[in-house]
Amino acid sequence: YIPHIVLGKGPPGGAWHSMEGSMLTISFGDWMELPGLSFKEWAASKRRNIKSDRVMPEEIACYYKHYVKVMGLQKNFRDNVYITSVSRLYRGKDDEDRSQQNEDISTQHLEMEDGQKSLIKRNWEVRGYQRATDGSHVPFCLFAENVALATGTFDSPGRLQVEGEDYPFVLHSMSDFGAAISKGK
């Protein structure tokens, strides 16, 4: 088990939940499947016979959502979460030397469900808010050893407000990417 948390605007499956229902994927390849549960096995358990490699977005969204449930990962997912900043926490050479000798503020122990303790390094600070059911915003700040950013493509391309984001070769949508490819850029 790798300790992790997934923060997102919507449920597991991301943009697949907001795509037009009559649309079909170009193909459903192994690259879209998750470990331990193939899409075809999942579809067969739902009594749907996959005759081609093209499936509707709703099916993919349901597959991803079901995967989280069947793998017992619900506790790792937070919906209605909006990230406002991700910052790298820098330490000087002296801080690194001290942390090797004894535990400093950049390292903490994380207790797992099985009672074991794991050492994590606080390399990143993630800030944002979670939208509550009453519409209010509940701010949060968490620290992580590693961060993976998925900034969106279909529903709303994410802007990170970072240096270089507006360079002409940085693209923010699949349609812009497709146009650049067709023009040979």
- 19-53 pLDDT, tens digit per residue, is 776 777 776 666 678 888 888 888 888 766 566 66
Q: Calculate Rg over the CA atoms of the chain.
A: 20
Show the domain range for 135.
80-92+122-149
Q: What is the pTM of this model?
A: 0.61
Residue 126 lies in a domain: yes
What are 110-135's pLDDT values in tens digits? 455 555 555 557 789 999 999 999 99
The total of structural domains in the chain comes to 1
* 4 vs 101: which has the higher pLDDT: 4
Residue 130 lies in a domain: yes
Residue in the block written with tokens 């790298």: 88
Residue 137 lies in a domain: yes
- Burial grade of 16 (CB within 10 A; 0-12, 13-18, 19 or more): buried
Residue 105 pLDDT grade (very low, low, confident, very high; cuts 50, 70, 90) = very low
Q: Distance between CA atoms of 135 and 71, rounded to whole angstroms?
A: 30
The gap from C-alpha 94 to its chain's centroid, in whole angstroms, comes to: 34
DSSP-derived 3-state class of residue 134 = coil
Helix (H), strand (E) at residue 118:
strand 117-121
Residue 138 lies in a domain: yes
Q: Give the C-alpha distances (Å, rounded to integers) separating 131 from 4, 10, 99.
A: 21, 11, 36
* pLDDT score, position 104: 38
Residue 85 lies in a domain: yes
Q: Distance between CA atoms of 137 and 87, rounded to whole angstroms?
A: 21
DSSP-derived 3-state class of residue 2 = coil
φ, ψ for residue 157 (rounded to 5)?
-55, 135
Residue in the block written with tokens 């023009």: 183
Residue 167 lies in a domain: no
